[in-house]
Amino acid sequence: MENFKKLGLSSNTIDSLKRKGYEEPTPIQEKIIPLLLDKEKDLIGQAQTGTGKTAAFGLPLIEKLSCENKDVQAIILTPTRELAIQVAEEINSLKGKKRINIAPIYGGQSIELQLRKLKKGVQIVVGTPGRIMDHLNRGTLKIDRLSYFILDEADEMLNMGFFEDIEEIIKYTNEDKKVWLFSATIPDRILKLAKNYMKDYEFVRVSKEQLATELTDQIYFEVNGTDKFEALCRIIDVEADFYGLVFCRTKVKVEEVANRMIDRGYEAEALHGDISQHQRERILSKFKNRRISVLIATDVAARGLDINDLTHVINYSFPEDPNFYVHRIGRTGRAGKEGTAITFVTPAEYRRLSYIKKISKSSIRKEKLPEITDIINAKIDRLKLDLSDIIESKISKEYMKIAENLIEEHSPIETIASLLKYSFNGEFDESSYNKIKEVSLDKHGKTRLFVALGKSAKMDTKKLVDFILSKTKLKSINIKDIKIFDNFSFLTVPFEEAEIILKYFSKHKRGKRPLVDKAKAR
């Protein structure tokens, strides 16, 4: 937390960061926060999704905006409604006691609800270009007294064909505002936008780190946030000799997970920034000597650990900064030993997973979580091996005499079954385990696509599906909600299939727009 204080943030903001469990700023936060706090300048920030850029611009906004002024002082444009909601929630959670109102404005939500929020007075509007244009055309949103105009994921908005809308929105704003633009890449169109609408701007770039983890098997599991703990227990239970690090993003979550694991009887400890040096040394000594097999930690607390024979690294919380992913999984596969990196991915995190795959240049494959029967069978196999070892060793006379007495009174099978029940108390009973709700991309990770072909091109539902399958080489595709109009069509596909389709059609244009593209959010 000391490094956050050095950035120049107020005590209110520091307190809100503490409550959220933040410990250390990410590289982009270290570079951008003091710059935006100290100078009233335009800014281009080149940073990838998941680097902590929302807090990088959100925290200076919170510090600078006036509570008394009920005009819209900042507008943040995002390419998707999901990102609009995420950005609004993040800034709202960071504002602490400061009385500023944030309103997400996006298609799919009741426009009347949005009108009521805007009438009450909001200082920050976060929205998609389409719905923002709707409000501007209606006259229900005024942005002519802005202090800050912010574009988040500008290259994504360019890819989705939003730039004409953005240029139109800018016309509604005042000249003396500051423009902050964030983008993973800086193509010529974005530089042209900067030239036309930005003044003497600062350019801040956060370099990405490449992955070199040939000895690490990388897999991910799709889980709901509420099922992560059960998923973690299953992974540990199914392994014969689990010895690993479990990463959570905040110290609050580290404590919660560690306490729940200890309550269930696992040999686990927590490691985070609030732990004293003496405690840290004691915990690390226990872990290195394998007196505990599970260490739950934050990224900062795990820095400098020299442990070479981990079997697993588990990303319980998705890393805030993609570089943290690199550091985390690099802890397996050391000293020539193979390790496994596991990431839990919730429906809201598929975009981040896609980016992690891109920077890693390696295969992070999807797997199914172990079933309850898998856990029970693994435990039975281990029990058999342990019993064989005991039988082959010399058993004391006392135990042999007790066994003889028990068998005289009961059958051998009843006796062994009773001992197992006494010792394992439901461990082999399926009803003792909590179920995990299945998550599928089809249900949660869907993408709406625009296809620049319709009835005029003699397209119908079957021809459209066959056309996409033939071009992308997908063996099958789970297409839903197909709508075919005269000159274009819409369809919905799971996230991963959408990425394959978009990648193939990115070079195939119809007019200025790709033949297949993400549908605009309205």
Say which CATH number the domain at 119 has: 3.40.50.300
Indicate whether 419 belongs to any domain: yes
Say which CATH number the domain at 488 has: 3.30.70.330
Please check whether residues 266 and 158 belong to one and the same domain. Answer: no
Q: In this structure, how many other beta carbons lie within 10 angstroms of the beta carbon of residue 73? A: 21
Q: In what order do the strands lie in the sheet with 202-205?
A: 102-105, 124-127, 74-77, 148-151, 178-183, 43-46, 202-205
Does the structure show a pLDDT above 70 at 339?
yes
Please check whether residues 43 and 111 belong to one and the same domain. Answer: yes
Q: What is the pLDDT of residue 144?
A: 94
Mean pLDDT for 470-477 is 77
The DSSP result for 446-482, as a single string, is EEEEEES--GGGT--HHHHHHHHHHHH--S----EEE
More confident of the two residues 333 and 425: 425
Structure tokens at 446: 């869907």
Please check whether residues 356 and 503 belong to one and the same domain. Answer: no
Please check whether residues 256 and 360 belong to one and the same domain. Answer: yes
* Range of lowest pLDDT (73-77, 213-217, 282-286, 479-483): 213-217
End of a domain among 369, 394, 415? Answer: 369
Indicate whether 211 belongs to any domain: no
Q: What is the pLDDT of residue 48?
A: 67
Please check whether residues 298 and 397 belong to one and the same domain. Answer: no
Does the structure show a pLDDT above 50 at 208?
yes
* Range of lowest pLDDT (18-22, 213-217, 501-505): 213-217
Does the structure show a pLDDT above 50 at 321?
yes
Q: What is the pLDDT of residue 206?
A: 79
Task: Categorize the per-residue pLDDT at 216 as very low, low, confident or very high, splitting at 50, 70 and 90.
Answer: confident
Mean pLDDT for 265-276 is 88
Contact (CB, 8 A) for 142 and 120: no
End of a domain among 369, 389, 422? Answer: 369
d(CA 238, CA 218): 17
Contact (CB, 8 A) for 493 and 449: yes
Q: What is the pLDDT of residue 253?
A: 92
Indicate whether 210 belongs to any domain: no
Those residues whose C-beta lies under 8 Å from the C-beta of residue 267, and which sit 6 or more positions away, are 291, 292, 293, 294
Does the structure show a pLDDT above 60 at 336?
no
More confident of the two residues 362 and 39: 39
Q: What is the pLDDT of residue 240?
A: 84
3-state secondary structure of 504: helix
Burial state string for 130-159 with b = 16 or more CB within 10 A and e = fewer than 16: bbbbbbbeeeebebeebbbbbbbbbbbbbb
Please check whether residues 336 and 395 belong to one and the same domain. Answer: no
Please check whether residues 343 and 447 belong to one and the same domain. Answer: no
* Range of lowest pLDDT (51-65, 141-155, 162-176, 445-459): 445-459
Q: What is the pLDDT of residue 173?
A: 95
Q: What is the pLDDT of residue 210?
A: 45
End of a domain among 344, 369, 394? Answer: 369
Q: What is the pLDDT of residue 179?
A: 95
Indicate whether 247 belongs to any domain: yes
Indicate whether 296 belongs to any domain: yes
Does the structure show a pLDDT above 80 at 461?
yes
Domain span including residue 393: 378-432
Q: Which one of 32-36, 204-208, 209-213, 377-381 scores highest in mean pLDDT?
A: 32-36
Task: Categorize the per-residue pLDDT at 254 as very low, low, confident or very high, splitting at 50, 70 and 90.
Answer: very high
**Number of compact structural domains in the chain:** 4
Please check whether residues 255 and 112 belong to one and the same domain. Answer: no
Please check whether residues 172 and 281 belong to one and the same domain. Answer: no
Please check whether residues 170 and 189 belong to one and the same domain. Answer: yes
Indicate whether 97 belongs to any domain: yes
Q: What is the pLDDT of residue 348?
A: 72
Does the structure show a pLDDT above 80 at 27?
yes
- Would strands 480-484 and 489-494 be described as parallel, antiparallel, or unpaired? antiparallel
Q: Which one of 11-25, 122-136, 200-214, 316-330 scores highest in mean pLDDT?
A: 122-136
Distance linking the first and last C-alpha atoms of the chain: 40
Mean pLDDT for 226-233 is 94
Please check whether residues 394 and 484 belong to one and the same domain. Answer: no
Does the structure show a pLDDT above 50 at 358?
yes
Task: Categorize the per-residue pLDDT at 440 as very low, low, confident or very high, splitting at 50, 70 and 90.
Answer: low
Q: What is the pLDDT of residue 322?
A: 64
Indicate whether 102 belongs to any domain: yes
Indicate whether 33 belongs to any domain: yes
Alpha helix ranges (H) inside 361-440: 372-392, 397-409, 412-424
Q: What is the pLDDT of residue 333?
A: 59
Average pLDDT across the chain, whole number? 85
Q: What is the pLDDT of residue 212?
A: 45
Q: What is the pLDDT of residue 3?
A: 84
Please check whether residues 260 and 170 belong to one and the same domain. Answer: no
Q: In this structure, how many other beta carbons lie within 10 angstroms of the beta carbon of residue 37? A: 15
pTM: 0.55
* Helix-strand-coil split of the chain, %, nearest 5: 45, 15, 40
Q: Which one of 122-126, 405-409, 475-479 scores highest in mean pLDDT?
A: 122-126
3-state secondary structure of 205: strand
- Would strands 43-46 and 202-205 be described as parallel, antiparallel, or unpaired? parallel
Mean pLDDT for 272-280 is 82
